[in-house]
A and B are shown apart, each in its own frame.
Chain A
Amino acid sequence: MESPADILKITNLSKSYPIHKELALPVLQGIDLTIKAGELTAVMGPSGCGKTTLMNLISGVDSADSGSIMIRDTEITTMNKSQMAVFRRSHIGLIFQDFNLMESLNVKDNILLPLFLDNHSQYGEEMFQKICKILSICDITDKNITDISGGEKQRTAIARALINHPQIILADEPTGNLDAKSTKDVMEYLTDINREFQATLFMVTHDSYAASYCDKVILLKDGKVLSVLEKAQNSRKIFLEHIYEFLKQIGGE
């Protein structure tokens, strides 16, 4: 790593999916990215530009054709599935658009699940209380997943992603299934978490409003990085206007 502050470094990352015997559809083509620790980053772009694929590759859910992904000092593209699973449980927090919560468990069990998988339940309680307080879900921890709202489900998923002190949180359209109010709440919670735990957030989204909460917006098109917008010292409102403007120029959503 060039700088100790870089938490994610992607170099020349490519991925294609076979569509016929000898035909492959390139989804990502030579992506280079660097994310600093504690940064809030959003990836935007039109449908099919490779956002979710990029997220899947970083989380090790899918494997790359070529290129390198370094999380802190660990190269993850060379790991086998079991090594990746162990790495994921202790270094990566995942948030999904459709929450992917276990309906068979209550809110608390869902949140603590990564700790149970890692056999670290003893230090979970304190962290659990702290996260629940920040995410305002203390009252629903005994409820079943089927009995809570979409916003509460997403906050539960965020809590689950945080419980293991991950080095990086990867969120795939975390506000995709939420209404405007819940979107605002979730993004504010994520900002609070970022501040409180210095958590790095890497988020894929279609929602410019959600992206405006981030420090940096990476715009993808046809599997390549088209541009990187920095919030810098601008207010969220001005940053949102920049994002809108840029998306309008490239004919995006």
Chain B
Amino acid sequence: MELIKILFKMIRYHRKDYMLYLYCNIFTMALLLAFLSVCSNHSLMHNYQVDPMIADNILFPSLMVCLFTLLFLPYAYEAFLKGRKQEYSVLMTLGMTEREVIANMFLECFAVSSAGCIMGLVCGSGLSVLFFLFLRRIIGITPIQWEFHARAYLAAVGLYALVIILILLLNIIRILKANLSELLQAKWKEERKQKGSKALLFLGCAVFLVSILSMLYVFYSGKTNFWLLSMGSFLMGTFLAIFHSDSVLYKNSSRKWKISFGLLLQNLKSWKIVTIISSCLFGLIVFFSGLCFTIYSYSMHNAIAYSPYDLFYVRDQNSNQMELEELEQILNRHGISLVSQTQVCVLRSGAFNILSADEINEKLGKDYHPCQGSFIQLFQEDLKDGYEHELLPVENVTIKLGDSKKLPLALQEQRIEILFNPCKSLADTTLIVNSDDFKRIAEQSEEYFLVNAILINLDNWKISGPAIAELQNCMAASNNFSQEAQYLSSLSSKIGTYTIEKQSSEVLIFWIFFVDLMFFGAANVTIYFKIKSELKEDTRMIYHLYRIGITEKETWNILFKKNLCYYLPSLIMGIGFGIFYCFSVNSIYHYGLMGFICAGLTAAAAVLLQFFLIFVITRYEYSEVNPFP
């Protein structure tokens, strides 16, 4: 009983560490559950009214959140346990058995993790509701709503429990394997380091340079898959350089920084690990944010480029039968006027859309001249849209006509041009043929059927949303299709595409904001754990300096510079990494400058926030170590 009281006293003494570890657990669990809830939400993920472009944006951030859970929870537990290990080793010298230590560790871990899990589930549920409110109310994805899915909770708890059990088991094995003298000296042993090697430092720098050169190669060769390889070697080079940075660091430091470096060098090994982790996190923040903002800007451009007509739809015998007068009436009711209207005949099958060259030339003012028996393959794409394009040519097409006859068509040329809006009623590949061939196919083919593509321009597309929604509803009412069939017959409009692109980019930015928040929080918690674990040593060292005559201002400066040494290298490396890759990856897709600016702005925001946090942390540390009466 007395021992339990003692253990409670110890817990009370370490309550700040417990709370920090608990917050880490709650934070991780809440994000994990919120993202998994969104992923398993039917109204978002399996809804014909929500474009897959919007829905799929959750997948990558969710993957990042799962990865984060796998990596951050063990780190937080390790950092938490680090402070407790010394106490356990003292208790073991006094006669506490391994079994008692393990039982205690298990109880502690179970209690904190369970509390973290429960509170995380509550916060995560609240967060997921907020996510949906934000998506509905602010971004405007109205068809979605929050749903309760037990499997999201099960998956979150399962992953969380798995990670906790694994790290607990790992630490129990470590305790069982270590002997007591090692545990007593664990901290010092950990820091007992070999001096960094200059050769490996140069090798790191060389790998770093190679990664930059390989990125140039990627840029000029167009082999875009290489950029991940370049990113990997960049990180490897940076790791090597950081691990061996001490071979030049201390000797070459100026007098003003020597004491701060001295504080840092006491725990060099853990500094290196912390710097590597946080530089990766900072780098990913800058890279992802830069990428998101770049995607946002070119998505807006693409929405207009890919929708040359304000309204486009396909009409056949069964669907979208609406007279032009009725259409105009609906538009007019919403204050929109029709400026121009064109109809083009399209022959379509499951694989191809076939257009008549003469009709296209006449009605759309184009200049296509396919010979008889051949076709022009049209790629309706903008090569500078920020995405990778694979233009696969169709060499020959044979069209079955009636009475077992066939019409063989050969590729005459390829053209890259956007003729009309993307439309779910049409096939992906468009061929333009001679008018005689077109006529023959229309009259004799059984696999191709004739539809009318209606191309409309309005006087003000930006306010055409409600009008087009009403048109869509009217057509759906007259079509009387199943939900899926109606989805395939839906109208394509500039405002619709623009809205989807805008919402999709905003949703992506929203998710990435959370991923960034998570990474930024993790980077700062990692460094904070480190600074806190060294507080006692720093207090002793500052006290010694105080006794030999250091002033208050100098004490502040030493601590501030030491904290800069913790944060700045990782921040600078992270920013360098993020900006460089955001620029170079976007350069491949013609948006390099935009990528550079977006990453630069994110980096500037991160630097400002980080400096503020360094100031806050230094103030806390100064109040703890300050020896002045």
Residues of A within 8 A of B2 (CB): 112, 115-116, 119, 121
Q: Chain B's interface: helix, strand, loop or mixed, by majority?
A: helix
Given A61-B181, A121-B2, decide whether A113 and B13 contact each other with a Cβ distance below 8 A: no
Whether B95 lies near A117 (C-beta < 8 A) is yes
Which candidate, B85-93, B191-199, B429-437, B463-471, is the interface stretch facing chain A? B85-93
A104, A113, A121 — most chain B CB neighbours (10 Å): A104
Whether B9 lies near A104 (C-beta < 8 A) is yes
Question: B6: CB under 8 A from chain A?
Answer: yes
In the complex, which residue of chain A has the Cβ closest to the Cβ of B4?
A116
**Contacts between chains A and B (CB distance < 8 A), count:** 80
Show the binding face of B for A, using Cβ within 8 Å: 2-3, 6, 9-10, 12-14, 87, 90-100, 179-181, 184
Given A56-B181, A63-B179, A116-B6, decide whether A89 and B94 contact each other with a Cβ distance below 8 A: yes
Question: A133: CB under 8 A from chain B?
Answer: no
A88, A90, A101 — most chain B CB neighbours (10 Å): A88
Whether B96 lies near A117 (C-beta < 8 A) is yes
Whether B87 lies near A117 (C-beta < 8 A) is no
Question: A180: CB under 8 A from chain B?
Answer: no
Return the 9 tightest CB-CB contacts between A and B, nearest first: A89-B95, A104-B13, A61-B180, A85-B97, A104-B10, A116-B2, A116-B3, A62-B181, A82-B97
Question: A188: CB under 8 A from chain B?
Answer: no
In the complex, which residue of chain B has the Cβ closest to the Cβ of A55?
B181
A18 to B93, CA, bound (A): 24
Whether A90 lies near B95 (C-beta < 8 A) is yes
Q: Chain A's interface: helix, strand, loop or mixed, by majority?
A: helix
Interchain nearest-CB distance for A18 vs B (Å): 13
A74 to B97, CA, bound (A): 19
Whether B179 lies near A62 (C-beta < 8 A) is yes
Whether B87 lies near A85 (C-beta < 8 A) is no
* Chain A count of residues within 8 A CB distance of the other chain: 33
In the complex, which residue of chain A has the Cβ closest to the Cβ of B92?
A85
- Interface residues as binary, A89-103 with B (CB distance below 8 Å gives 1, 0 otherwise): 110001010001111
Whether B181 lies near A85 (C-beta < 8 A) is no
Given A102-B87, A119-B3, A121-B2, decide whether A61 and B10 contact each other with a Cβ distance below 8 A: no
Whether A61 lies near B93 (C-beta < 8 A) is yes
Whether B6 lies near A109 (C-beta < 8 A) is yes
Question: A143: CB under 8 A from chain B?
Answer: no
- Interface residues as binary, A121-144 with B (CB distance below 8 Å gives 1, 0 otherwise): 100000000000000000000000
Whether B93 lies near A117 (C-beta < 8 A) is no
Show the binding face of A for B, using Cβ within 8 Å: 56, 59-63, 81-82, 85-90, 94, 96, 100-105, 109, 112-119, 121, 160
A180 to B97, CA, bound (A): 37
Given A104-B10, A109-B9, A117-B3, decide whether A88 and B94 contact each other with a Cβ distance below 8 A: yes
Residues of B within 8 A of A117 (CB): 3, 91, 94-96, 100
Residues of A within 8 A of B12 (CB): 104
A62 to B179, CA, bound (A): 6
Can you list 12 A-B pairs with a CB-CB distance of less than 8 A? Answer: A85-B92, A85-B95, A85-B97, A86-B97, A88-B94, A94-B93, A96-B93, A102-B91, A105-B10, A105-B13, A117-B3, A117-B100
